[in-house]
Amino acid sequence: MWKHKKQFGQHFLTDGHAILKMCEVSNIQEEDIVLEIGPGKGVLTASLLEYGATVYAIEKDNDLIPFLEEKFKDALASKKLIIVHKDIRDIESSDLPQKEYKLVANIPYYITGEIIRTFLTSLHQPTSITLLVQEEVARRICSETKTNLLQLSVRAYGEPKYVKKVKAGSFNPPPRVDSAIMHIANISRNSFKGIDEEKFFEVLHVAFNQKRKTILKTLGTAYGKERMESILEDEVSPSKKARPEEVALADWLYITQKITAGAKEGAH
């Protein structure tokens, strides 16, 4: 008899309402292409197929592959379901949908950040992402008050929304904490028009690595105090005394643009 594997972070969703909510908030339509990570016993997979989507299911567990192949033999035969037997972290671009796609998944908690980062920064981004994650993580990403590194990293690419709490008892076996459905809409690189994407994350990490210090202190040490004083004296800039969590996404993008421009000027 097959047993769940703790090392894979397997907690299978059994709540039908949560499954339908994930499909609903993802606005699954016929002819949509959906990437699902860790289909497990295929409960969400079945719902996605019922909505008419073509599903690419990435499954690492050797023991689950025969189960899924038997359960979905008709969908496999019609090519509405493609099972990719790999760890999502070893996936190659050739394993993924080549057309526009949506990411919908109940993912292992321990790779949440890695999955979000991988797909938001990939060359072939999904148009939207709907995930079941730890509730605390969902609230941090979707916070409307103080900013944080994770929230800013996500908002640079899309519009995160906290959708619905899913209690631990909705899974088998139940995790130790409650979960939540989180949806990221309108994913693109539009924020980075004229702005160095890599430099943006460098600047964020410099500031948030010492988040109790002012941005003038941390960024001044990294990029030159005089240059940062000049940038932060602009009318559209945040206060020199601001700490990272008090600075909005638009301001971080502006600061990055100015730092990059200053570096180019200094190189001449």
| 59 alpha carbon, distance to own chain's centre | 19
pLDDT at site 265? 57
* List of the chain residues with pLDDT < 70: 1-11, 262-268
Cβ–Cβ under 8 Å, residues 157 and 126: no
132 three-state secondary structure? strand
Claim: this prediction has a pTM higher than 0.85: yes
Q: What separation, in Å, do the N-terminal and C-terminal C-alpha atoms of the chain show?
A: 68
Cβ–Cβ under 8 Å, residues 37 and 109: no
Cβ–Cβ under 8 Å, residues 267 and 250: no
pLDDT at site 266? 53
pLDDT digits (tens, 9 = 90+) for 33-55: 999 999 988 999 999 999 999 99
- Helices and strands: H and E segment counts in the chain: 11, 9
| 183 alpha carbon, distance to own chain's centre | 9
pLDDT at site 172? 78
DSSP codes of every residue in 22-75:
HHHHTT--TT-EEEEE--TTSHHHHHHHHTT-EEEEEE--TTHHHHHHHHTHHH
pLDDT at site 76? 97
Cβ–Cβ under 8 Å, residues 30 and 52: yes
Domains, in order of start, for the chain: 6-188 (3.40.50.150), 197-267 (1.10.8.100)
pLDDT at site 128? 98
